[in-house]
């Protein structure tokens, strides 16, 4: 059964999309979406031979080799914008830095993409900052837990009239920080405890460093409305 994390990623894929799933591993996500009648076709991109082979055999086992193509390639090299008609890209289960690097390496190929659905395991600030710097507007965000892990999903589209993100938006998520869901609170309460633990170890003599952490803590408390 598909993880809740990947089901939620798939939920943001537009109906009848032509999908490129980068780092597809077993190709579970494109297989799920084709079987649900959600997408027209998909390319599953994988840079490592083992996962590439398992994607291929899974797709064949479901009889979906006509609608899902597997390509052994790094990042955006898996598709040709003039031939493949890809309009949606998913990249899930990697660090935010790696996701941004993958997008940055073939940036001119993103011109025809209408939606990016990204699920960074960390480095969310960096990824949001990259999106902003490259004219992508975040349209949806989601935070969820599965097996005691926290995951964020960031959905973005190219935009000529970008609404600039504040430092708080970059850090907490422009949509997540306004929604303040239960899971969002859990994440930042745990970050808060971690920062407080670090602060308690910083000697009073390191005043600048203490100040730095005090500011980080105050910011999280503000977002969590701790005083209320
Ligand atoms: N997307 C799946 C998920 O979310 O469950 C699999 C995540 S798995 C942790 C990351 C996959 O990305 C691995 O199979 C790895 O080989 C692949 N990968 C890493 N860098 C890549 C790149 N530059 N291009 C394509 N695939 C890559």
For residue 75, how far is its CA from the centre of ligand 1 (angstroms)?
9
* Ligand 1 near 93 CB (within 6 A): yes
User: Which pLDDT band, with edges at 50, 70 and 90, does 226 fall under?
Assistant: confident
Q: What atom of ligand 1 comes closest to residue 25's alpha carbon? A: 14
pLDDT(212) > 60: yes
The β-bridge relationship of strands 68-72 and 136-146 is unpaired
Superfamily of domain 4-162: Vaccinia Virus protein VP39 (3.40.50.150)
pLDDT, tens digit, 9 for 90 and up, residues 5-34: 999 999 999 999 999 999 999 999 999 999
User: Buried b / exposed e across 55-77, counting CB within 10 Å, b at 16+?
Assistant: bbebbeeeebeebbbbbbeebbb
Cα distance between the two ends of the chain: 41
Number of helices (H) and strands (E) in the chain: give both, helices first.
Answer: 10, 7
* Ligand 1 near 102 CB (within 6 A): yes
pLDDT, tens digit, 9 for 90 and up, residues 118-176: 999 999 999 999 999 999 999 999 999 999 999 999 999 999 999 999 999 999 999 99
- Contact 13/39 with Cβ under 8 angstroms? yes
Residue nearest to atom 15 of ligand 1 (CA): 23
Ligand 1, pocket-test mutation among 10, 25, 120, most atoms within 8 A of CB? 25
Q: Extract the tokens encoding 184.
A: 């969002």
- Contact 192/215 with Cβ under 8 angstroms? no
What pLDDT score was predicted for residue 227?
Answer: 58
Q: What gap in Å lies between CA 203 and CA 191, rounded to an integer? A: 21
- Contact 84/106 with Cβ under 8 angstroms? no
Query: For the residues 165-191, what does the mean pLDDT come to?
Result: 97
Q: Extract the tokens encoding 134.
A: 């490259």
* Ligand 1 near 51 CB (within 6 A): yes
pLDDT, tens digit, 9 for 90 and up, residues 33-79: 999 999 999 999 999 999 999 999 999 999 999 999 999 999 999 99
């Amino acid at each position: 059964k598909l993880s809740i994390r990947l089901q939620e990623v798939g939920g943001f894929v537009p109906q009848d999309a032509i999908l490129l799933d980068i780092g597809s591993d077993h190709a579970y996500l494109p297989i799920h979406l084709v079987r649900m009648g959600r997408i027209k076709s998909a390319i599953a991109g994988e840079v490592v031979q083992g996962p590439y082979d398992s994607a291929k055999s899974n797709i064949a086992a479901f009889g979906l080799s006509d609608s899902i193509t597997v390509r052994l390639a790094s990042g955006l090299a898996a598709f040709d914008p003039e031939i493949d008609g890809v309009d949606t890209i998913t990249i899930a289960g990697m660090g935010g830095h790696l996701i941004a690097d993958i997008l940055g390496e073939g940036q001119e190929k993103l011109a025809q993409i209408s939606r990016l659905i990204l699920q960074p395991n960390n480095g969310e600030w960096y990824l949001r900052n990259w999106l902003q710097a490259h004219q992508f507007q975040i349209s949806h965000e989601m935070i969820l837990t599965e097996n005691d892990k926290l995951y964020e999903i960031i959905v973005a589209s190219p935009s000529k009239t970008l609404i600039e993100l504040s430092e708080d938006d970059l850090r907490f998520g422009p949509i997540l920080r306004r929604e303040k869901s239960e899971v969002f609170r859990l994440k930042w309460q745990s970050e808060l405890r971690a920062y407080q633990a670090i602060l308690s170890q910083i000697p009073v003599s390191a005043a600048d460093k203490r100040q730095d952490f005090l500011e980080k803590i105050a910011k999280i408390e503000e977002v969590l409305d701790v005083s209320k």
